Amino acid sequence: MFIDQTEYEHYYVGGHSLGGVAASYYMNDNTDNIDGIIFCASYPVKDIPEKKLALSIYGSLDNVLDSQQYENAKKYFPSDHKEYVLDGANHSGFGSYGVQKGDFAPTITNDVQQSKTAEIIVNQIKQ
């Protein structure tokens, strides 16, 4: 495993959409090694332990993220999780694969969306 081959002080996992779901499974099986998890237009499917960083970032124009599933999944977040809504961002803008079917048109560019996302993540990890 990557963690066994490196000597960093902290490790975080994350993912966009279904990648976030996969990351939550991974974190659940490796809670001793992982300090936090970042969801981009995604949500956990298993409990995230208290005292672990948990970020949720999604766009105000996301029409792909299932809002009901997201609300139901909030029970898996630790009590101090952070949630950020990027104004003008959509689901597809977290990646570089074009507009996903059914998504709303963004009012910001992918570059802006990804830069804002990176800024949030770095600021939270530094705390």
For residue 62, CA distances in Å to 66, 86, 109, 112, 127 come to 9, 10, 14, 15, 28
Residue range 63-103, pLDDT digits in tens: 999 999 999 999 999 999 999 999 999 999 999 888 899 99
> What are the φ and ψ backbone dihedral angles of 58, each rounded to 5 degrees?
-150, 165
Return the SS3 of 86.
strand
Count the domains in the chain.
Answer: 1
Which residue is associated with the tokens 């672990």? 52
pTM for this structure?
0.93
Q: What CATH number has the domain bearing residue 22?
A: 3.40.50.1820
Task: Retrieve residue 34's tokens.
Answer: 């992982």
Q: Which domain holds residue 109?
A: 2-126
Could you read off the pLDDT of 15-66 as tens digits, one per residue? 999 999 999 999 988 888 899 999 999 999 999 999 999 999 999 999 999 9
The residue with tokens 């898996």 is 76
- Assess contact for 103 and 73: CB atoms under 8 A: no
